[in-house]
Amino acid sequence: MRLLAGAAVALMMISSAARADDLVVYGAGSLREAIGQIASAFGRAHGLTVKTRFGPSGRMRERIERGDHVDLFASADVGHARKLVDEGRAIVMAVFVRNTICLLSPAKFGATTATLIDKLLAPGVRIGVSPPNVDPLGDYTLKLFGLMDSIRPGSAAAMQARTVVVDTPPGAPPPKSGDTDVDAVLDGRVDASIVYCSGRDRYARLLPGATLVQFPAGLRVGPEYGLAVLNDARPAAALLALTILSPEGQKILVDWGFRAVTLPGN
């Protein structure tokens, strides 16, 4: 209801509030293509400029806490968005889309849904993971290891001993390929990397011939994504949030490999 009220106000004020830097959206790196597309279309439709910036959700939240002006924050988990609400920095938080976890590896690795666990438990296999706390994917990966441990006792410790943190910290050069996990595979630092399944098109483009295998149903760990409208957001931010939750916005997210939360059958 608060989003709806904010959107109503936005519709009345959107033309008078328009400026060269109308809206700023920070989002998880996995949302770069999908939210970028929605934001661009929204800006064209309403005569606004929507600036977007993407990266690990934890780091993007920290930038907001340090004073970056942001109107809308889209996180790869619920926790980072909720923290902004709990701190009094955001007025509302909502789950807006879901994702799944996959294993990215060269074709020669031979991973399938049936062989995936055995492949990861093979001696010497280096597993690329995202940094926990900083990137929700790292937190989901720890949950994944815990589920695997319930199936194969001792597997979590065995895999964690062979993990390689795949990250591009602030100030580091951007990944050569355009993606940190792809770089890790191409450079031979990892044999396989745990990623979001929504990256399928990016990986197909950047790493031709690689396989992207979804973990079996018994190893599903979410993920759920949360968006937050910031306290001092421009009026159109609530309308953009509703656009993301609308059937049109959800379809764009589905087209990019996500799982909708407001469309039947998803």
Task: Convert the pLDDT of each residue in 73-83 to its tens digit.
Answer: 999 999 999 99
Q: Of 1-10, 91-100, 190-199, 222-231, which gets the smallest average pLDDT?
A: 1-10
Tally of structural domains, the chain: 2
CA distance to 152, 159, 187, 196, 263, per residue, from 118 (Å): 10, 11, 23, 20, 36
Residue-number span of the structural domain to which 187 is assigned: 101-219
Looking at per-residue pLDDT, the higher value among 16 and 242 belongs to: 242
Based on the domain organization, do 110 and 29 belong to the same domain? no
Based on the domain organization, do 136 and 39 belong to the same domain? no
Taking residues 219-239, what's their average pLDDT?
Answer: 95
- Report the predicted TM-score, pTM, of the whole model to 2 decimal places: 0.90
Average per-residue pLDDT for the chain: 91
Based on the domain organization, do 127 and 64 belong to the same domain? no
CATH number at residue 20: 3.40.190.10
For residue 266, the model assigns a pLDDT of: 62
Based on the domain organization, do 207 and 238 belong to the same domain? no
- Residue 79 covered by a domain: yes
Based on the domain organization, do 148 and 72 belong to the same domain? no
Taking residues 142-164, what's their average pLDDT?
Answer: 96
- Residue 215 covered by a domain: yes
Based on the domain organization, do 86 and 151 belong to the same domain? no
Model confidence at 161: pLDDT above 90: yes
Based on the domain organization, do 112 and 205 belong to the same domain? yes
Based on the domain organization, do 119 and 194 belong to the same domain? yes
Based on the domain organization, do 72 and 18 belong to the same domain? yes
Based on the domain organization, do 112 and 204 belong to the same domain? yes
- Residue 189 covered by a domain: yes
Confidence label for 19 from pLDDT (cuts 50, 70 and 90): very low
Model confidence at 158: pLDDT above 50: yes
Based on the domain organization, do 92 and 122 belong to the same domain? no
228, 81 contact by CB (below 8 A): yes
pLDDT tens for each residue of 109-133: 999 999 999 999 999 999 999 999 9
- Residue 265 covered by a domain: no
| Secondary structure, 3-state, the chain | CHHHHHHHHHHHHHHHHCCCCCEEEEEEHHHHHHHHHHHHHHHHHHCCCEEEEEECHHHHHHHHHCCCCCCEEEECCCHHHHHHHHCCCEEEEEEEEECCEEEEECHHHCCCCCCHHHHHHCCCCCEEECCCCCCHHHHHHHHHHHHHHHHCCCHHHHHHCCEEECCCCCCCCCCCCCCHHHHHHHCCCCCEEEEEHHHHHHHHHHCCCCEEEECCHHHCCCCEEEEEEECCCCCHHHHHHHHHHCHHHHHHHHHCCCEECCCCCC
Confidence label for 14 from pLDDT (cuts 50, 70 and 90): very low
- Residue 266 covered by a domain: no
Confidence label for 157 from pLDDT (cuts 50, 70 and 90): very high
Based on the domain organization, do 14 and 68 belong to the same domain? yes
